[in-house]
Structure formats: structure tokens, C-alpha cells
Amino acid sequence: MDEKIRVLVVDDSALMRKLLTELLNSDPQIEVVGSAMNAYAARDKIKKLNPDVLTLDVEMPQMDGLSFLSNLMRLHPMPVVMVSSLTEKGAWVTLRALELGAVDFVSKPKVDLERTLDDCAEEIASKVKAAAQACVDTAMRRNSALIAQAARPANGAARAGAGDNGAYSTTDRVIAIGASTGGTEAIKDVLMGLRPDCPGIVIAQHIPPVFSGSFADRMNQVSPLVVCEARDGQQIRPGHAFIAPGDQHLSVIRNGARYRCKLDSNPPVNRHRPAVDVLFDSVAATAAHNAVGVLLTGMGKDGAAGMKRMHDAGAATIAQDERSSVIWGMPHAAIEEGGVDHVMPLQEIAQRLMELALRE
């Protein structure tokens, strides 16, 4: 990229504006063209400066970040990276921001702000760069199409026996899903389109620890499946989806005739924990041709090698297409690796998943 990415920093904290400005300006590909302390100042500076990317504080006076984001995406859609506090409330608001069209988020630490932000400088800069390449129109099309779906109640039939003591028969099928940037909404779209009798699902989404539980709760509310944050040793049951906790790898192991979740804190893979490659590798080894792998929107190459191993083991594999992806990095890498059987738009993946997973 020859021209620098122009960023507007919006935050009610003067210290946060200063630190984010210095951090982003230290990257040779990024230029902070201005900052604003509230939504009204941000609105004026967007018109004046025409930035490529906005970093937006979740909690601001006068007009909160969600209200501003909703208006922005309706009137002047642009790539937005949310800056969220590491709290349960901050996690919920951030997930709502992603539903409204924000591309990604970074976590604002509660203590030792300057040192902690400096430690994650590369992550913040990389998310801003990814946002600059994101297809905001894709997010807006997706959100508009799903307004009616989001209002429907989850299928109560799938809720019966949600605990580990439920009398479910063992499935010989398993579905593995991996995603990163834009993935929380893409995963939601897939889960909402599945039936309660689908095979057990394991999910690796790049997400911080404080957000993964809230994400699982949200998916449990809107999908026909029972969705939870995975626990070590938990049995993988039909009609259930298990989301890797932030900062832990999720693998699938076989215990007799049953698949179970295995969690560990081994070093990051592809700079991520949870890593999609870790999940896909385990599914390739454990379930082989009885598995289906899905790689959704995301920056980088995590999951590409693992999907190739799943493919070579006989699993059916699906990659999200470019037009429906917010960031077509991981699916594209998997296609180039030669491990993808089907490339398809997001809205068709759930139906195809059911066809593949329930085939004889």
C-alpha cells in the first residue's frame, strides 16, 4: 500500500487518544489524521478529514459508541475498530457493535494503560490495517438480511438436555468451524441456519478471554442449538456447539465411541490461541472422513494448513467466498493450499453443512 491508512481516533479519554495516536503513528503504513473526544466532534471531523478507518470508544459521554456507530453505518458506512473495556458489560456492547457493522475490536486494559497498550501495539496496528481492507458493504448487506431472522425465537427443542447428563446418542460426525476478523457475525449466521439435529460443532474464533463467554451466551440466545463455552473433557453432543475459550486451544479427542473437548494452554500457533489449525489438526486425526470443516472470514492464514489436513483425511471442507467475507484472508489461504472442496457465500453454508454432515 503506497498511501498511508488515514485514521481518526475517537475516545473521551485524553490519555487514550494520545497513546493510540502515538502507537498508530509509529507504524509506517498508518497516519492518525485527527482525534475527537465525543461523537459530535467525530461527526464533524469525519466530514472534514475523510479518514479510512475509525477507532471508536464504546463508552462515551453525550452519545454512546453504539448509538454513534448505528448512525454512522446508516449514513456514512466506513471501517470501524471498536476500543472496548475488559469487562462483562464491555464484552456485550462490543458484540453488539460487531452486529451493527464494526469490523473488529481491541481491548482497553483497566490498569497500567500505557504499558499494556504498548505490549499489544502490533495487534492494534494489524487490526487497523485489516479494517482498511475490509468490505464494509458486506457487513451492511449481511445485517440488513438478518434483521428478521434475529428477531425469531431460538428453537426450544434443541434446549432439552443441555447439560452433560442429557441422554444423547453418540454422533459419529463432527463439524469444525474456524474464523477470525468478522467471524463472530459469520458464525452467528451459520449457527442460525442449522437444524437442532445437526452433529456436534466445535468452533475456534480468535477472541480474547473476557469476550468468549459472552459470545457463547449470545450464540445460545439466537441459534436453534445449545451453545456454550467449551470445557475440558466435555462430551460433544448432537445439536450442541462448543466455542473455544479465549486464550485456550480447543482440540477434539476420542474417548471410546465419544468425541470430547480438550483444552490446553500450549504456545500460540500462527500467533493465536485458540488457533484454528490446532482444532482442524485434531479433527483430521480424530474424525477424518466423518468430519466437515468450515473456514470463515478472517485475516491471515490460520486454519489453511489444518483444513488441508482435514481434506487429505477425507473430510468435506468449505471456505467462505470473497464477496461475503469481511476479510478474505484465511479462506483464500486455504483455497491456495488446496484443501477446499466448496467455496460458497455465507448465506448458503448452513444448508450445505447439513447436507454434508447428514449424508450416509
Measured in whole angstroms, how far is the alpha carbon of residue 88 from the centre of its chain? 17
Residues 6+ apart with CB under 8 A from 184: 95, 98, 205, 207, 215
Enumerate the β-bridge partners of residue 343: 319
Is 206 annotated as catalytic? yes
Q: What whole-number distance in Å separates Cα of residue 102 and Cα of residue 82?
A: 7
- Any residues with CB less than 8 A from the CB of 3 and at least 6 apart, and which? none
Catalytic residue among 52, 104, 302, 321: 302
List the grid coordinates of 333: 489461504
- 302 in active site: yes
Q: Which of 57, 206, 212, 325 is labelled catalytic?
A: 206
The vertex-264 CA angle with 263 and 270, nearest 5°, equals 110
Query: What's the burial of 114, exposed, middle or buried (CB within 10 Å: 0-12/13-18/19+)?
Result: middle
Q: Which of these is catalytic: 84, 180, 251, 324?
A: 180
Q: Look at residue 294 and give its three-state secondary structure.
A: strand
Degrees, nearest 5: CA angle 183-242-94: 40
Look-up of cell digits 492464514: 301
168: cell is 444423547
CB atoms within 10 A of CB 27: 19
**Which residues are catalytic, by number?**
180, 206, 302
